[in-house]
């Protein structure tokens, strides 16, 4: 863009010098060439300005996307701070509300897999074979099977 503007200014300066050098007597062919040069530089400048405008639009959209992603991340961090990873059974983890009281069997448990994807999904209790317990995530279909909660004796 700056190169096009400088080129256009040089062409304009050349035309001015041509007029000044003529002092009343203007060479029509030289003046026509100078005006043609100015016109060409103006077209190049317009083309460069249009290209820069398009690039600016892309950058504005990119900034908007990044601002949206930053807000989403900040919102998630506020939401995630309400929960903590909990060992609900031997080797089985889920997220529960911080400051939770009472037995794990009664607590609302969130899927650790979905939590890692910045999503809250409540685990649903299911029947399991062989006197085991199962928790199912209806969102990602994770199924956690274990014998007893870590706070059960």
Compute CA 103 distance to the chain's CA centroid, rounded to the nearest angstrom: 41
Least distance to Zn ion, CB of residue 113, Å: 4
11 versus 94: smaller Cβ distance to Zn ion: 94
Compute CA 110 distance to the chain's CA centroid, rounded to the nearest angstrom: 26
104 versus 111: smaller Cβ distance to Zn ion: 111
Binding positions for Zn ion, rule: CB under 5 A: 111, 113-114, 121, 137, 139-140, 142
Alpha-carbon separation of residue 63 from 52, 56, 66, 76 (angstroms): 16, 10, 5, 20
Least distance to Zn ion, CB of residue 107, Å: 17
Least distance to Zn ion, CB of residue 136, Å: 9
Three-state secondary-structure class, residue 37: helix
34 versus 114: smaller Cβ distance to Zn ion: 114
Least distance to Zn ion, CB of residue 114, Å: 3
34 versus 110: smaller Cβ distance to Zn ion: 110
CA distance 80 to 92: 19
Instruction: Using the Cα atoms of residue 13, residue 17, residue 23 and residue 25 in order, give the sign of their dihedral.
Output: negative
Q: Please tell me what DSSP assigns to residue 122.
A: B
């Amino acid at each position: 863009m700056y190169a096009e503007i400088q080129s256009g200014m040089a062409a304009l300066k050349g035309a001015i010098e041509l007029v000044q050098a003529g002092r009343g007597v203007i060479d029509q062919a030289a003046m026509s060439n100078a005006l043609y040069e100015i016109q060409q530089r103006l077209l190049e400048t317009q083309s460069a300005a249009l290209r820069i405008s398009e690039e600016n639009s892309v950058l504005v959209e990119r900034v908007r996307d990044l601002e949206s992603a930053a807000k989403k991340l900040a919102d998630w961090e506020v939401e995630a701070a309400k929960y903590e990873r909990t060992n609900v059974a031997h080797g089985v983890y889920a997220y529960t509300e911080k400051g939770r009281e009472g037995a794990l069997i009664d607590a609302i448990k969130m899927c650790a897999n979905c939590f890692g994807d910045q999503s809250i999904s409540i685990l649903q209790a299911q029947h399991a074979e062989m006197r085991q317990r199962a928790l199912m995530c209806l969102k990602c279909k994770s199924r956690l099977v274990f014998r007893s909660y870590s706070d059960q004796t």
